[in-house]
Structure formats: structure tokens, C-alpha cells
């Protein structure tokens, strides 16, 4: 890690915002400063502040960064007056709002001149100094240099350009020991939005500024400067500033080919069709790295389950009896004295009794009901394998949970599981429980089955439950999701071919794109409020992402929670890892809110 003491830092756009904050932070650490800005009054004020903060030497010059000759003169004066530069912060920038069709080429070029060419000129002017000093170029891009948004084509183009330029010269300059960072701030409370230009067709200046400041500009410049300098110390190639920047970077990396669709759900258009605002209730990325217990659990699952059965699945041979025996050995049922259970057997004419289990907190008010359908590829698992999770959910939610032992394939292929799920739902209604007080939930195959139950209810004209919660749902039994292959090695539980094999065992000779077999291919309109959880390294990740996207297109009030590097259906692994209990707290808030008609809390409100 480098120290800034006795270093010389060049900062453009130093008269306000992030530039001013960088100048003051570096001054406090004993760095000398060469400051530039287009406004002489604000520049002089910052120079005085920096001197008082402890900068040993300060040189200031007023010029426009679009003037390449002025850059050359500035670089020479800096070297003559206070020495050669160690760090160059290309920070000067302008903002402009408006759709591309309403923006003239001249206006587009003005944004590119300041935001992009200003960086290029600054880098060229100081290159010989920074090479000799083996220093750093720190080029301020934006969160919109990571991901494009409507109504900002000129701004995004300039900031994408800064990022691409930085990544290219980073490789060119590496042989000289020069560090190049692209910085991507999110919503920083600076004057850049206040001074933004507005093209014809953009929303009113007052309306835009009010919305931007209320929803976007939340981080103080001083905090942004601290994050930037911490990244420079560690010589990071890309520095993300703020949770919004981290979220959008995560989405772009997670689904690079289809992120614009998901982004469309995050960035809602205003009523007048101009601009875009964040709606964090649609897609929530849980970016924290997995805990040590989570990583150990994933390693254990891979060793005890995936590695043992993957080879057979690759050959198209799934030994169902062996898999059932193996998964049973992995579960240790925890004692939970505060939760009561009662086994249920529902008699049916001409069919085997339907087995299930009631679970409820003995001291709870139990004001709503959760119908739970376990996972297991439609061929293994039962109530007992999921009981740690389901009892904990019932306890946290203060709910009665009915967990169903539906019939399994290959002995009972489709439609046996859907018939059993419908029978369980109807039985709850017969007990006097209203649909408004029921949330249907399931994981993996149980998530697909829960979705299939919604399709069956809709086709029969039956009332829907108040909510639907899906954990890593298995929604495409054809197996067309890219993640089945892309995450084949990363997924702790399954390979893509294991999943495809389970699909064929359940579907039998029927077409696997039948909606009740693969709900991804069904009409999802009319579904209840839906929440989906999935890990970004699961082979079934795309089943969740595509199902969420289709639900949103169908008008469903749906949200997607993507967690970083968690094993398949990690809440089932309670109490082995803290992430399981955290997710269960969120699930409890969801089921309570659905059945009470309350707004569903966001992740931040839950935590």
C-alpha cells in the first residue's frame, strides 16, 4: 500500500465536489497539490482550505480541460513550480440530461470533450512525469460508465469511454510500473446535477433535480474521496463508490447479455416518460462475500454429494435409490422445543393418502399459513430433509406451516406432484383457511411445483394465495438455461446434467415444455406477489432470472434476490450457516406482509 505523504497530486475539477474532497483529504495526509478548475473563485477557496489542512505546497491554475495546449502548459508549470506529479486525478466533468433523439451533435460533442477528451489530454500531458515516478492515473468515470441508462447517451458514452481508455492504457503502462484506475461513483451529493444541461424533451430542471437529490445523490463527497484514496493505496484497477455502483456492476457481470432487461425493471420510467429512477424492490443483489461457515458448507456438500453422484449423471444414469439414501445422511434434524409438529394423513378416494406435517410455534399467534413444497429434483427429499428450515420459518413468521410429502418420480411422474399440491391447497381451504392468509412456497423442484400449482389454480378458476415464495426454483425442465453449463463447476450441489436427468425422470415421455412441467413456458399473468431467491453460482440461476423476467413482463408484482456465491437453496441449510438464518428472517417478513396486506419490506428494512 502506498503513502500519500510528500507525494504530488494533480486534481482537475478541484473547485467543488469530489475534486475538492480529494484535495482536502490528500492535504491532511501531507501531499503537495496541483489544482485546476474552470472557476477561479472556487479554485482559490479550495487552495486556501488545502493549505490550512496541511498541504506543504500548492499550485493552482484556471483553465478548460478541453484545451489540449492549456494542458501542456499546466504540466510544465507544475514541474517548474513544485515538481513532478506522482498522481493525476482526472476528475473534471459535466452532466447533461435528455434523450438521444432530442440531443444535437454539438451538445453530444460538448459532453465528450470535457468528460472524455479532458481525461485523454490530461493523461498525455502528465505521462512522462508519472512514468518516471511510477505513479498513478486515477480517471473518474461513473456508475454510468459501467451500465447504460436511457436519457443519458452522451454522458454514458463519455464515461464508458473513460473506462475503456483506462483499461487499455493500464495494460500499456504496466511495463513502466504505472497504475491506472477507473473510478465509478454512484450517487454522490455534488453540484454536477445542479449544473447539468437539459435537452429538449427532458423533464423540467426542477423536477429532475428534486428526483435526483431525493433518490440518487446520497453519499457525501468526503466519503467518496476516502473510498477512492483507499482504492488507489491498494492500486486497484477499478474502484466502485457506493452500493448503487456495486449493484449495477454486479448485475452487468452476472448477466452481461441480458442485463438491459433486468435494468429495465430497476430503472423505472417516470410518468412523463423522461428520466429514470431506482426501484430497489424489484432486483436486490446481496453482495457480501460468503461467510467461512458458508464456504465450508459448500465444500462439504461438494465432497459428500456432488462429487459422489455427478459422474453417473454425466452418463445419463441417475441411481435414484442411492441419491435418496445419500441425501438422508446429510441432514441432522435439530431439536426445536418452541415449535410443535403434527403428522397429517389426508384420505383420498382412489389415491394413496396424502402425507404432510403441521409445524407451528407453540407461543405464536399463528395468524397465517405457509404451504411448503420441498425440493429434490422431483425424485428425492421429503418433509424431514427440510424440517430445520420450515420449522424455523414458522417460528420467525409466527405462522402455521404445512409441509407436504407429495409423490415422487420416477414411480409417480407428472402430474402426480401437481395433483398432490392441489389436494393440499384445497385441504387447507377446507380447514377454513382463506386464500388471503396463505403463502405458497417451495425450493428447487418444489419451487417449480409451487409455480405449477399457480397455473393449475388459474386454469380451474380457483382463488390464488396471497403470496408465492420460490427458492432457486426449477422452472425449465428442458434444461436450456445458460447457467446449467456456465455454473457447472461453480455450483456446490449439482451439475447441469444432473438437473437435466431429474427433469426427464419427472416428465417421462411428455413434452418437457408443458407449462405445468416447466412453468417458465406458462402464462404467469395473475400470479400473486412473488419473491425469488437464488445464488449467482447455482446451475439453476437462469431458471430464476428468466422466470422473474417473464413474471414482470406478465405484470406480476415480483422481486428477485440474488446472493453472492451461496449454495443451492441455502436457507435449507439452517442452522449450519448464518446466511440461512438471515434469509429466513427476510422470508418471514415476506409471508407476514403478504397475508396482512402490508407493503413488503425491502432488504434494508428487513435487516
C-alpha cell at 552: 414482470
CA dihedral sign of residues 428, 598, 444, 550: positive
**Phi and psi of 117, rounded to 5°?**
-65, -30
CA dihedral sign of residues 246, 251, 253, 259: negative
- The Cα–Cα gap between 217 and 404 comes to 48
Phi-psi region of 81 (alpha: psi -120 to 50; beta: other; left: phi over 0): alpha
Return the half-sphere exposure (C-beta side, CA atoms, 13 A cut-off) of residue 56. 12
Return the half-sphere exposure (C-beta side, CA atoms, 13 A cut-off) of residue 439. 31
- Is the separation of the CB atoms in 355 and 348 below 8 Å? no
Q: Of 226, 249, 262, 223, nearest to 549 (Cα)?
A: 262
- The Cα–Cα gap between 87 and 258 comes to 37
Could you give the residue ranges of the DSSP H alpha helices within 461-517? 483-486, 496-507
**Phi and psi of 128, rounded to 5°?**
-65, -35
Q: Of 370, 534, 382, nearest to 450 (Cα)?
A: 370
- The Cα–Cα gap between 417 and 453 comes to 9
- The Cα–Cα gap between 507 and 529 comes to 28
**Phi and psi of 351, rounded to 5°?**
-135, 160
State yes or no: is 155 an active-site residue.
yes
At 36 the three-state DSSP class reads strand
Looking up cell 419473491 gives 531
Q: What is the length of the chain? A: 607
Q: Which of 155, 406, 414, 574 is catalytic?
A: 155
Show which residues are catalytic: 155
Amino acid at each position: 500500500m502506498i503513502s500519500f505523504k510528500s507525494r504530488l497530486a494533480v486534481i482537475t475539477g478541484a473547485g467543488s465536489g469530489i475534486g475538492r474532497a480529494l484535495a482536502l483529504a490528500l492535504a491532511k495526509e501531507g501531499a503537495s497539490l496541483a489544482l485546476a478548475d474552470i472557476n477561479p473563485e472556487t479554485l482559490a477557496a479550495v487552495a486556501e482550505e488545502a493549505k490550512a489542512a496541511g498541504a506543504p505546497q500548492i499550485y493552482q491554475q484556471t483553465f478548460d480541460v478541453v484545451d489540449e495546449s492549456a494542458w501542456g502548459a499546466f504540466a510544465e508549470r507544475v514541474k517548474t513550480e513544485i515538481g513532478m506529479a506522482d498522481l493525476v486525478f482526472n476528475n473534471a466533468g459535466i452532466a447533461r440530461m435528455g434523450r438521444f433523439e432530442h440531443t444535437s451533435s454539438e451538445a453530444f460533442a460538448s459532453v465528450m470533450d470535457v468528460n472524455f477528451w479532458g481525461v485523454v489530454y490530461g493523461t498525455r500531458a502528465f505521462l512522462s512525469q508519472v512514468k518516471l515516478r511510477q505513479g498513478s492515473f486515477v480517471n473518474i468515470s461513473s456508475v454510468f460508465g459501467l451500465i447504460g441508462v436511457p436519457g443519458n447517451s452522451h454522458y454514458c458514452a463519455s464515461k464508458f469511454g473513460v473506462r475503456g481508455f483506462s483499461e487499455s492504457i493500464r495494460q500499456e503502462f504496466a511495463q513502466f510500473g504505472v497504475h491506472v484506475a477507473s473510478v465509478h461513483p454512484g450517487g454522490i451529493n455534488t453540484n454536477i446535477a445542479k449544473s447539468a444541461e437539459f435537452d429538449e424533451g427532458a423533464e423540467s430542471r426542477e423536477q429532475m433535480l428534486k428526483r435526483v437529490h431525493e433518490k440518487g445523490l446520497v453519499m457525501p463527497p468526503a466519503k467518496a474521496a476516502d473510498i477512492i484514496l483507499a482504492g488507489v493505496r491498494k492500486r486497484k484497477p477499478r474502484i466502485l463508490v457506493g452500493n448503487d455502483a456495486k449493484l449495477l456492476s454486479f448485475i452487468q457481470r452476472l448477466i452481461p447479455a441480458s442485463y438491459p432487461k433486468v435494468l429495465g425493471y430497476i430503472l423505472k420510467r417516470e410518468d412523463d416518460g423522461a428520466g429514470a429512477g431506482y426501484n430497489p424492490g424489484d432486483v436486490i443483489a446481496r453482495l457480501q462475500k460468503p461467510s467461512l461457515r458458508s464456504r465450508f458448507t459448500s465444500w462439504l456438500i461438494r465432497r459428500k454429494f456432488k462429487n459422489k453422484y455427478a459422474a453417473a449423471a454425466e452418463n445419463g444414469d441417475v441411481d435414484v435409490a442411492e441419491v435418496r439414501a445419500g441425501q438422508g445422511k446429510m441432514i441432522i434434524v435439530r431439536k426445536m422445543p418452541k415449535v410443535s409438529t403434527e403428522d397429517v394423513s389426508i384420505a383420498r378416494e382412489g389415491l394413496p393418502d396424502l402425507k404432510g406435517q403441521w409445524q407451528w410455534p407453540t407461543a405464536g399467534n399463528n395468524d397465517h399459513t405457509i404451504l411448503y413444497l420441498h425440493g429434490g429434483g422431483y425424485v428425492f427429499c421429503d418433509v424431514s430433509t427440510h424440517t430445520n428450515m420450515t420449522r424455523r420459518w414458522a417460528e420467525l413468521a409466527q405462522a402455521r406451516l404445512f409441509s407436504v410429502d407429495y409423490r415422487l418420480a420416477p414411480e409417480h411422474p407428472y402430474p402426480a406432484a401437481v395433483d398432490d399440491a392441489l389436494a393440499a391447497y384445497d385441504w387447507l381451504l377446507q380447514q377454513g383457511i382463506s386464500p388471503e392468509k396463505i403463502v405458497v412456497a417451495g425450493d428447487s423442484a418444489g419451487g417449480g411445483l409451487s409455480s405449477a400449482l399457480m397455473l393449475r389454480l388459474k386454469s380451474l378458476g380457483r382463488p390464488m394465495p396471497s403470496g408465492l415464495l420460490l427458492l432457486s426454483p426449477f422452472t425449465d425442465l428442458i434444461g436450456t438455461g445458460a447457467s446449467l453449463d456456465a455454473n457447472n463447476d461453480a455450483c456446490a450441489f449439482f451439475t447441469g446434467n444432473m438437473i437435466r436427468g431429474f427433469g426427464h425422470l419427472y416428465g417421462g415421455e411428455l413434452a418437457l415444455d408443458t407449462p405445468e412441467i416447466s412453468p417458465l413456458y406458462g402464462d404467469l399473468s395473475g400470479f400473486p406477489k412473488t419473491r425469488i431467491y437464488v445464488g449467482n453460482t447455482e446451475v439453476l440461476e437462469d431458471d430464476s432470472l428468466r422466470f422473474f423476467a417473464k413474471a414482470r413482463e406478465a405484470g406480476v408484482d415480483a422481486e428477485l434476490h440474488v446472493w453472492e456465491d451461496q449454495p443451492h437453496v441455502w436457507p435449507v441449510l439452517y442452522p449450519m450457516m448464518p446466511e440461512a438464518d438471515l434469509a429466513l428472517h427476510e422470508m418471514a417478513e415476506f409471508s407476514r406482509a403478504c397475508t396482512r396486506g402490508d407493503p413488503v419490506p425491502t432488504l434494508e428494512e428487513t435487516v
